Amino acid sequence: MDDFKRFREKVFALCNFPFVLTVTTKANILKLESSVLMREKLQLAFFRALFAGVNPPYLLLTIRRDYIIEDALVQLQHKSHEDLKKQLKVKFVNEEGIDEGGVQKEFFQLAMRELIDPKYGMFTLNDESRLCWFAQSPLEDELALDEYNMVGRLIGLAIYNGIILDIHFPLALYKKLALAAESQGDPSRLDEQWDLDDLMEIDPALAKGLRQLEAFEGDVLEAYDRTFQVEYESFGQTFQHDLIPDGVNIPLTNANRSEFVKEYLKFYFTTSIAKQFNAFSEGFHLVTLGSAIQLFRPEEVEQLICGSPDLDFNALEQITQYEGGFHAKSRIIRWFWETVHAYEDKDKKRLLFFATGSDRVPIGGLGHLSFTISKNGPDSMRLPTSHTCYNTLMLCAYSSKERLQERLMTAIGNAEGFGLM
C-alpha cells in the first residue's frame, strides 16, 4: 500500500519498475487503484451534493434488455473521464436485481456479445483462428464511429470494474493500444511495425499466402498477374485500395514482392482500420489512460481483459468457503466436487457463469477467486441458485447425488437473466 501511494505521487516506487512485478501483482495494484479512485469519486460526489445540488455518486446505466446497445450508447456517449471513474451500477428495466456486481457482469457479457458478433458488422471473425478483427471499411458513418468508441469504453470500464470478458482479439490489438498510449493520441508519433507472425495469429491462410509469395521461385509477374492494388468488401460492396501511390499501375514482380508484403501488412493492421481503431482507442484510453494499466505488457493486458484459460477446479475447491452448516467434508459437498470435477470444460464454464456471472478465469487462476457454497435449506426439488455479486452458490441439502446432479445441470443450463428466486 505504501509503495502504491508513492507510485501515485510519482516518486520512487517498485511500481515504477513493472518488469520486476508478476502479472498477478500488477492486477492487484490495478484493483487497489480502482477501489481507491472509486472511493474518492464517491466522497467527492457527496461533498459536491452538499453545495451544488444533485451529483450522482455512481456511474448508473439503466438498460432495456431489448435495446442494450442503444441504451448504453446514449448513456455513455457524453460521460466525462471523471464520470467513468465512478463505480459502475447497472439496472435492467423492470427487473428486481440490485447491482452489487452481478448485474453489471451480465450486462458486459450481453453487450460485448452483441457488439463483437460479425452480424453486427463492426468486427469480423476468422473461421480458422476464431479471433475477431476490425471490419475493413472506408468508414464515414459517425454513428458507427461512436459505437467503436463505446466498445473501447466498455472494455476500459470492464478493466476498471474488475470484470473479465469473453472476447477474442489478437495480441496485435493490445500492441496497438500500447503504442497509442505511448503516442499520447498523436498519430504522427506512432511507429507500428508488423510482420507475418502478427498476421498468422489472426488470419493464418492469408499469412501463408504471403509467405508463399515471398518464397516463390518462379516468375512472380507471370504467375500472380496482379498490381499493388487490393480489393476488400464492406457491407456487400467491393472497394479498391492502392497500397502505394498509383499502385493500380505498378505490377507485382520478384523485385518488389517484399515491398508488397510490407505495404499489405501496413494496410491490414493500420490503413484499412484507422478510423475504427482510433475511435476504439479513444474510448478505451478515456477510461484507462494515466492508470496502473501502464504497468502491463500487451500480452498481460489481454490476460487482464480475457482471463486465464486454465480451468483448474482443484484450485477452486481448495479456496472455497462454506456457510449455513456446510463444510468441506459434508456429504453434499463431496458429491458436488465429484460431480463438477467430472464435467467437461464447457459445463465447468457454465457453472462458473451461473455462480459468478462470468465464465472467465481471473489472472492467477481459480485459486485467486473468492467462492462460497452456502446451504439453502433441506432436501428439496428446488434448483440451486446463486448470488453472483458475491460469487456464492446456494445448494439445498439434496438427499442423493443423482438429484444434486440433475438439479445442478438444469440450473447451469438456464443461467442467463437476473432475478430473485
Active-site positions read: 389
φ and ψ at 65, to 5 degrees?
-60, -35
**Parallel, antiparallel, or unpaired for β 385-387 and 132-134?**
unpaired
Nearest CA to 174 among 7, 332, 21, 306? 306
- Show the DSSP H helices in 169-273 as ranges: 171-183, 196-202, 204-215, 220-224, 257-269
Give pairs for 139-148: CB < 8 Å, separation 24+: 139/275, 139/276, 144/276, 145/275, 145/276, 145/279, 146/73, 146/77, 146/279, 147/69, 147/73, 147/115, 147/122, 148/122, 148/276, 148/277, 148/279, 148/280, 148/283
Q: How many other β-carbons are positioned within 10 Å of the β-carbon of residue 37?
A: 16
How many residues does the structure list for the chain?
421
Burial (CB count <10 Å: 0-12, 13-18, 19+), residue 128: exposed
The closest alpha carbon to 295, from 15, 3, 7, 14, belongs to 15
